[in-house]
Every structure is written in structure tokens, then in C-alpha cells.
């Protein structure tokens, strides 16, 4: 039986919600104030499937009720009702652990979605935690994965909640990664927007995927979009879609990425790169949960969870006026920080084994192992490219080694380049590049030996495929999006 507690001092609203939910077969308990809500909870709290409470009640604050429910019935999903446009209240509630919010006037469709999401959140909560990570052991390094304030804090004694149904596990036995996994499992249960920060290649997209895969939206699409890789003039129609004939060249109607992510999650990578004009439109889409395709008058309702990420410091971008404060506030309801690889070197052995296993599987060969010397050599590197840099290095090593043991030389000796640690110029882009290609490379020098190595590999793949980017990306084991992103980052036309 599905039962709901509805707390609102306005009789009309209570009645309207109850009528709508009863139509969906839900038993409704009604309360007009905090005192009555407490009494109902004491009597039938354990039979409830979810609670919907107004923020402002005659005898107190809906957030107090949320807090009490979190203490006494931690598995009971609570959504809050906010007045239209009350962004602050909604954000406070989400930070305090509400799984979602609805704005007045409440629409039947929105209630149905809320009911569906609440029931899914409840199922996720009561599912036994399976940990695919225990096998990797643990460490007491005390590294801080930096999930922040509020109920999403992963306490130091919390058990590792593992990756449950996630398809691509987030590897790493360090305390930092354990805490990150715990936090991911918690935030997956809410609809709150999540912002993921961390250096390039640390695994931000992987974290976003895990949040999606462990959430009630896992059956829906996960749509990643690199905001920095789409030309400014196309971003609006890419995100929100356009009508046929909306502008020159719009031969077909285009649904846009928001609508493509309907029922699932939209991952806005490198969100700091969004032009200011578009930021206003994004804010509106998130707040109203509606998008307006270019050239259309009508807005289209959307049901999409927003996960965003950037390797840039968004606080600084806000200070510099490059990023709207109101959008930052709305995206950053929950912030997750992925630590750089050099701050969690105890993850190296497990990560190397995982990456080598994946690479070997792709090449249908038994996975090679690193010698202890190779591992300690790796542990001395600075890894500016983080896990992606490590992947590139191991891919190169495995491609050039036949045996099943990789020593230091497999990581450092590359034909035509015995200088993994050499200067950017020696390692650089001009080696072997034909004159007509050379001019297409921008002036952005590699920021590390690893990046120089990455640039070399990309250039060589592009040359081998006569600059067929899709094919080059396939050979490099990158998505086309990832390749485009790198080329844009390095200033390649």
C-alpha cells in the first residue's frame, strides 16, 4: 500500500493534492500544521511511503519537520512545497536532504512524477547495499573527498556503500575514494542538482555516470554534453532544440539535449565555458523545468536531473563575473570534489590493474602486470593528466610490449622518443607532422610531459586516419566528444 503524509496549512492545497494522489491509488494522511504532522507521524510514520510538506507552517518551519523525519524515519523520502519562484527555499530544502521540491501552483503531472520518484527513492533506500569495492581493500589515509555540509556528508565511520548497479566502477581503495562512493550513493537518491569539481581527467564524468546509474533514473538516458566544445552560436539550439526553419540551415526540427535526456540525467561538462547569455536561459530551464526550443513560442516541460562539472574554480568564475551567481547557486546544491590522482597514490595499483585489464580485454590478450619497480616509478610521477594520463601511458606501454610483465622501461622507452620526461619540444607536436598539418595546431603548449605524450598520440592517430576524427577517436579509445574537446583545448582548428 502506498501512503503519503501531506502537510500544508491551506485547505485547498491539501485537498487538491489528496484528490490527485488518491486517483493514483495513494492513501493520504493530512495535516495542517507541524503539531498535527508530528502526531500523524507518531501514529503511522512507519506505514508511510513519502511525505510532502509546505515550507511555511503556522507553528514552524517545514525544514524542522524534514529534519525530524530524517532522524526518525531516515528512509522516508520528503519533498517540499515552495511558493513559485522561491529558489532559496528549494535549494535549502534540497541541501537539507529533501529528495525534491514542487512549486505552487501544483500541477497534476508534476505530482505524478513526484510520486513516481518518491517510490523509486524508497526502493533504492530499502535495497541492500552491495559493495563491489570491498575486494579492493581500504586505507586509513584520511584523504578528503570533500563532500560538503549537510546530510550528504559521508561520515568517517560510514560503511562503504559500494557501487550497487553501476556499470563502470569507480576504482580506488583510498579513503578519499571510499568517501566519494558513499556520497555518490547518497546523492543518487535525490533529485538535487550536483556539481562535480576536480582537475581534468580525475573521473568527473565517471562520477556523474555513477550518480545516474545508481539513481531512480537509471532506466532513462544519461546525456553528456561538453559545453566548451560546442560553438557559442549553436549552444542554444543544441541544448534546447529548434523548430524547422528557425534559422538559416535549420532544415529539420531538432529536439535538443534537454529533451533527449527526458526521464534521465543531463551532464553539463565544463559548464564554466557556457557563454553568459546562455547561462540565463539555462537558469530558467532549471528553475521552471521547461525549455523553449529556438523559434517556438510554447515552452515544453522537462523531467531531467542536472549534473554539472568543471575543472575550473567556479567560485572564481563568479567573482570575475564570468559565471552568474544565481546559476552557480542553483547548480551547486550538492558539490562533490574528485581529488587529483597525486593526492591518492594508494589508488595506483588498483587503477593500473583495472586499466591494464580493460586494455588487454580490448586486444584479446591476457592482462599484463607492472613490476614493483614500475609501480614505484609511477608513484613518483606528478600525473597532471590524472587517471586519463595514466590510461594513455599504460595504453602506449601495452601496445609496445609483448610480454605479460611491464617494467620501468616499458613506461619510459618509446621508439623515437626515449624521453618521457623530456621537454615539451622534444616530446612535442612537430615530430613527424606534415607541413600542412603543422599549421593547424594552435599555440597552446602541453602543460606536462603526459600531456605532450597525449598530444603526440592524438596527432599520430589523426595522421594515420587522414584527419578522420571519428576513426582517430576510435583508435585512441576516446569518444568523438573527448577528442574534439582535446583538440579545442589545444587550440587545434
Ligand X SMILES: Nc1ncnc2c1ncn2[C@@H]1O[C@H](COP(=O)(O)OP(=O)(O)OP(=O)(O)O)[C@@H](O)[C@H]1O
- Residue 200: CB minimum distance to ligand X, A: 4
* CB-CB contact of 237 with 280 (8 Å): no
Per CB under 6 A, 170 contacts ligand X: yes
For 413-440, give one letter per residue: b (16+ CB within 10 A) or e.
ebeeeeebeeeeeebbbeeebeeebeee
Backbone φ, ψ for residue 465 (5° rounding): -105, 15
C-beta of 304 vs 307, nearer to ligand X: 307
- Residue 305: CB minimum distance to ligand X, A: 18
Q: Is the dihedral of CA 335, 341, 343, 347 positive or negative?
A: positive
What is the distance between the alpha carbons of residues 430 and 456, in angstroms, rounded to a whole number? 9
C-beta of 162 vs 172, nearer to ligand X: 172
Which of 138, 259, 152 lies closest to 196, judged by CA? 152
Say whether 367 sits in a helix, a strand or coil. coil
Per CB under 6 A, 206 contacts ligand X: yes
Per CB under 6 A, 200 contacts ligand X: yes
Residues in region 237-296 near ligand X by CB under 6 A: 269
* CB-CB contact of 359 with 346 (8 Å): no
Per CB under 6 A, 38 contacts ligand X: no
Per CB under 6 A, 205 contacts ligand X: yes
Q: Is the dihedral of CA 106, 111, 113, 118 positive or negative?
A: positive
**Beta-strand pair 405-406/305-310:** unpaired
- Residue 227: CB minimum distance to ligand X, A: 11
C-beta of 206 vs 437, nearer to ligand X: 206
- Residue 184: CB minimum distance to ligand X, A: 11
Q: Binding ligand X by CB under 6 A: which of 20, 202, 210, 308?
A: 202
Q: Which three cell numbers stand for residue 297?
A: 513560442
What is the distance between the alpha carbons of residues 264 and 120, in angstroms, rounded to a whole number? 13
Per CB under 6 A, 344 contacts ligand X: no
What is the distance between the alpha carbons of residues 314 and 323, in angstroms, rounded to a whole number? 7
- Residue 169: CB minimum distance to ligand X, A: 7
Per CB under 6 A, 391 contacts ligand X: yes
Per CB under 6 A, 181 contacts ligand X: no
C-beta of 314 vs 387, nearer to ligand X: 387
* Ramachandran quadrant class, 70 (left: phi over 0; alpha: psi -120 to 50; beta: rest): alpha
Q: Binding ligand X by CB under 6 A: which of 324, 388, 456, 484?
A: 388
Q: Binding ligand X by CB under 6 A: which of 204, 242, 259, 324?
A: 204
- In DSSP notation, 13-38 reads HHHHHHHHHHHTT-EEEEESSHHHHH
Q: Which span sits near ligand X by CB under 6 A: 15-23, 36-44, 250-258, 387-395? A: 387-395
Q: Which span sits near ligand X by CB under 6 A: 88-96, 298-306, 370-378, 386-394? A: 386-394
Backbone φ, ψ for residue 178 (5° rounding): -60, -45
C-beta of 177 vs 285, nearer to ligand X: 177
Per CB under 6 A, 171 contacts ligand X: yes
For 178-196, give one letter per residue: b (16+ CB within 10 A) or e.
bbbbbbbbbbbbbbbbbbb
Per CB under 6 A, 387 contacts ligand X: yes
Q: Which span sits near ligand X by CB under 6 A: 129-137, 204-212, 447-455, 456-464? A: 204-212
- Residue 400: CB minimum distance to ligand X, A: 20
Which of 299, 301, 329 lies closest to 315, judged by CA? 329
Per CB under 6 A, 54 contacts ligand X: no
CA angle 368, 370, 373 (to 5 degrees): 160
Per CB under 6 A, 336 contacts ligand X: no
- Residue 352: CB minimum distance to ligand X, A: 11
What is the distance between the alpha carbons of residues 137 and 140, in angstroms, rounded to a whole number? 10
Per CB under 6 A, 451 contacts ligand X: no
C-beta of 242 vs 311, nearer to ligand X: 311
Q: Binding ligand X by CB under 6 A: which of 354, 396, 456, 484?
A: 354
C-beta of 31 vs 171, nearer to ligand X: 171
Per CB under 6 A, 146 contacts ligand X: no
> Residue 348, Cα to own-chain centre: how many angstroms?
23
Q: Which span sits near ligand X by CB under 6 A: 182-190, 286-294, 384-392, 404-412? A: 384-392
Binding site for ligand X (CB under 6 A): 170-172, 198, 200-206, 269, 311, 351, 354, 387-388, 391
Amino acid at each position: 500500500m502506498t501512503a503519503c503524509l501531506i502537510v500544508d496549512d491551506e485547505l485547498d492545497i491539501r485537498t487538491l493534492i489528496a484528490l490527485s494522489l488518491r486517483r493514483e491509488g495513494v492513501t493520504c494522511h493530512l495535516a495542517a500544521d507541524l503539531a498535527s504532522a508530528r502526531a500523524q507521524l507518531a501514529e503511522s510514520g512507519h506505514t508511510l511511503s513519502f511525505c510532502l510538506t509546505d515550507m511555511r507552517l503556522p507553528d514552524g518551519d517545514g525544514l524542522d519537520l524534514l529534519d525530524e523525519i530524517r532522524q526518525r524515519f531516515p528512509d522516508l523520502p520528503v519533498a517540499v512545497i515552495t511558493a513559485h519562484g522561491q529558489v532559496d527555499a528549494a535549494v535549502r530544502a534540497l541541501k537539507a536532504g529533501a529528495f525534491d521540491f514542487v512549486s505552487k501552483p501544483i500541477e497534476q503531472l508534476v505530482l505524478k512524477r513526484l510520486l513516481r520518484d518518491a517510490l523509486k527513492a524508497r526502493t533504492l533506500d530499502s535495497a541492500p547495499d552491495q559493495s563491489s569495492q570491498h575486494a579492493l581493500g581500504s586505507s586509513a589515509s584520511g584523504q578528503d573527498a570533500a563532500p560538503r555540509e549537510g546530510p550528504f556528508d559521508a561520515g568517517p565511520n560510514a560503511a562503504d556503500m559500494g557501487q550497487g548497479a553501476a556499470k563502470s566502477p569507480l576504482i580506488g581503495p583510498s579513503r578519499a575514494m571510499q568517501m566519494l562512493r558513499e556520497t555518490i550513493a547518497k546523492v543518487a537518491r535525490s533529485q538535487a542538482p550536483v556539481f562535480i569539481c576536480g582537475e581534468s581527467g580525475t573521473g568527473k564524468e565517471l562520477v556523474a555516470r555513477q550518480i545516474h546509474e545508481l539513481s531512480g533514473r537509471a532506466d532513462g538516458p544519461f546525456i553528456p554534453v561538453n559545453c566548451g566544445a560546442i560553438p557559442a552560436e549553436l549552444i542554444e539550439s543544441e541544448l534546447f532544440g529548434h523548430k524547422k526553419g528557425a534559422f538559416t540551415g535549420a532544415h529539420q526540427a531538432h529536439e535538443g539535449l534537454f529533451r533527449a535526456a527526458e526521464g534521465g540525467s543531463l551532464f553539463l561538462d565544463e559548464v564554466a565555458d557556457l557563454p553568459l547569455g546562455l547561462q540565463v536561459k539555462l537558469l530558467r530551464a532549471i528553475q521552471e523545468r521547461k525549455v523553449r526550443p529556438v523559434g517556438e513560442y510554447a515552452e515544453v516541460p522537462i523531467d531531467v536531473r542536472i549534473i554539472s562539472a568543471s575543472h575550473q574554480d567556479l567560485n572564481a568564475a563568479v567573482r570575475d563575473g564570468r559565471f552568474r551567481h544565481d546559476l552557480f547557486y542553483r547548480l551547486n546544491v550538492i558539490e562533490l570534489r574528485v581529488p587529483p590522482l597525486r593526492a591518492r597514490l594508494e589508488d595506483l595499483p588498483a587503477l593500473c590493474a583495472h586499466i591494464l585489464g580493460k586494455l588487454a580485454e580490448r586486444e584479446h590478450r591476457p592482462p599484463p602486470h607492472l613490476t614493483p619497480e614500475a609501480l614505484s616509478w609511477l608513484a613518483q610521477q606528478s600525473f597532471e593528466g590524472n587517471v586519463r594520463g595514466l590510461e594513455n601511458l599504460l595504453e602506449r606501454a601495452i601496445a609496445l610490449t609483448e610480454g605479460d610483465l611491464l617494467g620501468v622501461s616499458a613506461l619510459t622507452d618509446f621508439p623515437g622518443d626515449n624521453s618521457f620526461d623530456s621537454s615539451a619540444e622534444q616530446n612535442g607536436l612537430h615530430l613527424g607532422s606534415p607541413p600542412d598539418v603543422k599549421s593547424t595546431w594552435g599555440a597552446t603548449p602541453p602543460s606536462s610531459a603526459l600531456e605532450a605524450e597525449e598530444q603526440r598520440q592524438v596527432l599520430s592517430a589523426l595522421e594515420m586516419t587522414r584527419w578522420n576524427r571519428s576513426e582517430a577517436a576510435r583508435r585512441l579509445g576516446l569518444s568523438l566528444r573527448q577528442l574534439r574537446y582535446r583538440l579545442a583545448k589545444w587550440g587545434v582548428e
